[in-house]
Chains A and B, each alone.
Chain A
Amino acid sequence: MSQKNDFDDPIDPRLEELLHKLQATPAREAQSAARGRTRYLAQLDALGLSRPKSRLQDFLGWLTLNNFTNQRSIKKDGYSMATRIQKIAVISAVVVMAVMVLLFSGGAMTAYASRAALPGDALYTVKTGIERTEVTFSKSSAVQAELHLQFAQRRLDEMATLINEGRFNNVSMTSAQFEYHVQQAVTLFQTIAAGNPAQASALASQVSTTLTRYTQSLNSMLTNVPETTRSTMTRAIQVSNSGSSIKMSDSGEVEFSGTVEEITPTSWTVSGSVLAITPETEIKGAIVLGDMVQVDAFTASDGTLTAREIQLEDEGNANTNDNQNGNDNGNINENDNGNENVNDNGNENDNENENENVNDNGNENDNENENENVNANGNENDNDNDNGNANDQHHDKVEFSGAVEVISSESWTIAGRTVAITPSTEIEGSIVAGSQVEVKAMTNADGSLTALKIKLSEDNEDNSNENSNGNINSNTNTNSNENENHNGNENGNENDDEENHNSNVNHNGNSNHNGNGNDNGNGDDGGGGGDD
């Protein structure tokens, strides 16, 4: 024992020596100590305490209890920084040792025992706690992503067991945790894509393959859970499915598909992934919440995604084909996959070509082509060309000359031939009965003549009128109906009826481009497809 510090009063050395005589104490008697300990433990047992905290938490709590004193007093009294640093160092060292001890002794046993724990079990928190620790201590994002995929697999296994055991109450929570791990894996992948596209590209296939498998597992479980649990699982399936579509483009962009969950002016959320929207972002189609979309995005250095293009996803996997192929070739579409092809693409070609040619020859050409091409299925073009050509004088023109014999208001008789006079008939010169005239007329269907032009003959000595019948009948009726039916429904029905060829028969020569391409991976070749 010595002088405590500079701030203490000097102590009388004789007193200090006397006090020192009490410093030594006898060794504690083992039996007495053991009795005291037993007594204490018995009292402790009588309390019936629960075990609310983990051992690690307790230990850390103890470090707090035993090593820190009132911080306010420390500051106030100028407690030396060196001492504080020393204490912190000691604490850190002890924490590390404690973690090691827990991991490799009792903690390891608990961890081992917790491996089979299911949600709702006492040791389940130990299991998930260890998982979190593993992620925390992983330095690389790629390793973390792989860990999250592993943990997602564990959640799937747990769900399967819970369902088998009828413990449906915990399925939703486990499903939500599965979703969390998948989201984390995808987010980490996006982070990697920003910094290391090559690594991300390699990881993409692993993520995609794994999540495809997970999606299949979830789908198989879905039918075995109560209705109340399905919504959570359905969402997990969507997230997993979205993640399984992830891939890296050659340009280093991230591509995936998913469900639109939120739309704001500056960002969209697609299956949990937040996408920044810029003026350069191309948004194709009228997309609303809940739509399945394909996303093409690039990753910023901070890991955030910026959408380059968002478009509605082909509904090829929706398995609801409204394609009713009415084929004129008599083939009947019978698909083994049971899809009812009702192609209701709503193409309506309502062409109205109105040719209203007014000919100066008096023919009334009033062509009305009404092409009402209602293409109910794209394969049957029934164009009704109803050319209402009122041009009822297709007839030969007649020219002759002679003396005018009779003149009336409706008809003249010239050289013994009667020609009808219409308001359109041009009469040149002062023609009277007996005048020599030249007649241009057309023959009607009934053989009668209608005068188009009557003029005095040039050789009429008394008549210097010049008959210049320069009417040009240019009735050009151009009916160019080009019905281009671009039926872009990719319904994906793979008809294994090889004779099922849709041959479009155009009754009116309209070019009918029916792009009804059946291109879909819904194969009927076994259980892999979704259309069975």
Chain B
Amino acid sequence: MRMDTLLVQETRTIDKQALVGVYEQYSPVLFRYAYRLLGDSDLAEECVAETFSRFLYVVQNGRGPDQNMKAYLYRISHNWITDHYRRKPFEPLDPDLLVDPHDNPSQVVAQRQEQERVRQALLRLPPEHRHVIVLRFFEDWSHEQIAVSLGKTVEATRATQHRALAILRRLLIDPKEEESYVSKE
């Protein structure tokens, strides 16, 4: 039996107790994932809530994860965040944020600005590129897990990561080159 078939069956037959367990286990990590990309606690909570709401919807309709549960939930969150920025396109990077943080008077503000600058750089990546970078560098997933999550080969995942890092480097380290790499999405 294929693993994904097994997982679908498990999810479809899962009971209330187990569904509570899903929430308890994954809502904290999804919150962190969402926060890193959204930069706002309320938005991150909303993302988590919507993620689980969608999850329950597919369970109710007899569908479920076609990969493992963890990847499935991250994927929902990722899509919600992507949709969120589609509905409300991110603001162009504030030129002030792209300057050297050491020029700012407050270290705290500088730190905040730096975080925002990195976040916005991430948001400018194509969704799949962003997904790979976040899972790989913040969630500490292996290439194998990411490949499963994306439904791609490990080699393709590595290639995506390579391109994403190149874009980020140009966006964050050499901002003058960023125009040619920014996602049109």
Contacts and interface: CB of A to CB of B under 8 A. Distances in A.
Interface of A: 1, 4, 7-9, 11-12, 14-15, 18-19, 21-23, 25-26, 28-29, 32-33, 35-37, 39-41, 43-44, 47, 49-53, 55, 58-59, 61-62, 64-66, 68-74, 76-77, 79
Given A18-B114, A40-B23, A50-B15, A25 B35 contact: yes
Given A14-B173, A19-B137, A61 B168 contact: no
Interface stretch (B77-85, B154-162, B176-184): B154-162
Contacts of B15: 49-53, 58
A55 B17 contact: yes
A37 B23 contact: yes
Contacts of A62: 18, 21-22, 69
A21 B114 contact: yes
B60 A47 contact: yes
5 contacts: A19-B168, A29-B41, A36-B48, A65-B69, A73-B144
Given A15-B168, A15-B172, A53-B15, A47 B49 contact: no
A69 B32 CA distance: 22
Given A14-B173, A43-B53, A43-B56, A22 B16 contact: no
B49 A40 contact: yes
B56 A44 contact: yes
B31 interface: yes
Contacts of A68: 3, 68
Given A44-B20, A55-B17, A58-B21, A9 B114 contact: no
A12 B138 contact: no
A53 B68 contact: no
Contacts of A50: 15
Given A7-B143, A12-B169, A28 B23 contact: no
B115 interface: yes
Contacts of A7: 143, 158
Interface string B136-175: 1110000111011000001000100110010011001100
Contacts of A77: 143-144, 147, 154
Contact of A8 (B10, B31, B122, B158): B158
B161 A8 contact: yes
B21 to A, nearest CB: 6
B172 A18 contact: yes
Interface string B1-40: 0011011001101111111111101011001100110000
A47 B49 CA distance: 16
A363 B161 CA distance: 134
B94 interface: no
B149 to A, nearest CB: 9
Given A8-B158, A15-B173, A40-B49, 7 more contacts: A22-B138, A40-B56, A44-B56, A49-B15, A61-B18, A62-B22, A66-B25
